[in-house]
Structure 1
Amino acid sequence: MRTLYAVVATLLTASVMLQLYFAAVGVFSNPDDELFAIHGTNGRMVLPLLALLTLICAAIARLGKRMVWLSALPLVLILLQTVIFILTGVIFGVGPDSHASPPLAATLFVSLHALNGLAIVLLSLYLARVGWKLAGSLGSRRLAPENPAAENLSARL
């Protein structure tokens, strides 16, 4: 189960990295091409699903309270990405059609989306790294040498 957690956490990390790429594609493309929709679709469908699967795998693999809570955090941060846009619209009265000249405060507030995205990147990398360490430690226990003292001696030489 720990290996499955590591795989799902790695898929989450890969999807988060693709999310950054999709954002760049959307920003640097012709607005008529509507390529930014890929960023939105990945962020609203794929990322939440992978984050939820990461949380479920952490719980089923019994990784401990800390890892389960840390595995819940990407889902919370992904939901916060949408909340940032909603709050920007509610507080500053701006929407998708008024992005040409938003107030400075609205721009500064909605830019938290990028910082929150960075937090998701770092957290997903951490979860994948820890997941593979945990999966590896499980595998090394299964393949433990018959005589650990001899193994330690040969490692020193």
Structure 2
Amino acid sequence: MRKLFLTVAWLFTAAVVLQLYFAAVGVFSNPEDELFAWHGMNGRFALPILALLLIVTAALARAGKRTIWLSVLPLVLILFQTALFILTGVIFGLGPDDHASPPLAATLFISLHAVNGAAILLMGVLMIVRARRLVREGPPAKPVEASTAPEADETPAAVPGA
């Protein structure tokens, strides 16, 4: 399961890089070609599915609580990508036909879409790092329980110069 987690982390990160490429293709192509649709399709289907698989494989690999909870963050950030468009429409009163000449404030706000995309990419890289560590070193160590911890009333060793 650990190697599967690593594989899914790589696939997710590759899909995010591909998402950035699709955005560039859409921006730099002729609008009549409708190539920007690739960006939308990948962002609506492939990325959420891979983000869900990232959560499931992290849990099945017993990656540790912190890594499992961190694996939820890419999905939250992906959902936030869509929320940014909804919030922009609500805050600035824009409809689907207003994208040709939005106010500057709306443009600055919706441009957070790219910054959030960078955060998703960084989360993918973090998942690769954590999954590689898990494959190499095994599951994280369990915290020391109170019964095996040194007693508080034991006298500490003498500290020189104290």
| TM class by smaller structure | 0.7 to 0.9
**Aligned residue for 2:151?**
none
Alignment of 1:4-153 (within 5 A): 4-138=4-138
Moved over 2 A (4+): none
The question of whether the paired residues in 1 share the 8 Å contact of 2:17 and 2:121 is answered with yes
**Residue segments in structure 2 that go unaligned for 5+ positions in a row:** 139-162
Q: Which letter does structure 2 place at the counterpart of 1:25?
A: V
1:63-107 per-position Cα deviation (integer Å, ceiling 9, x unaligned): 111001100000000000000001111111223321121011101
Distance in 2 separating the partners of 1:78 and 1:106: 20
Which amino acid is the alignment partner of residue 28 of structure 2? F
TM-score when scaled to structure 2? 0.83
Structure 1 stretches lacking a partner, 5+ long = 139-157
Instruction: Write out per-residue CA displacement over residues 102-154 of structure 1, whole angstroms, 9 at most, x where no aligned residue.
Output: 0111011101101100100111011112212211224xxxxxxxxxxxxxxxx
TM-score of the pair, normalised by structure 1: 0.85
Aligned residues: 138
Q: What amino acid sits opposite 1:50 in the alignment?
A: L
Aligned-residue CA RMSD (Å): 0.9
Distance in 1 (alpha carbons) for counterparts of 2:95 and 2:55: 32
Identity of aligned residues (%): 66
Structure 1 distance, partners of 2:130, 2:95, is 39
| Map of 1:152 onto structure 2 | none
Give, in whole Å, the separation in 1 of the partners of 2:95 and 2:29. 21
Q: Deviations over 1:12-65 (max 9, x none)?
A: 000000000000000000000000000000000000000000000111111111
Return the alpha-carbon distance in structure 2 between the equivalents of residues 84 and 123 of structure 1: 19
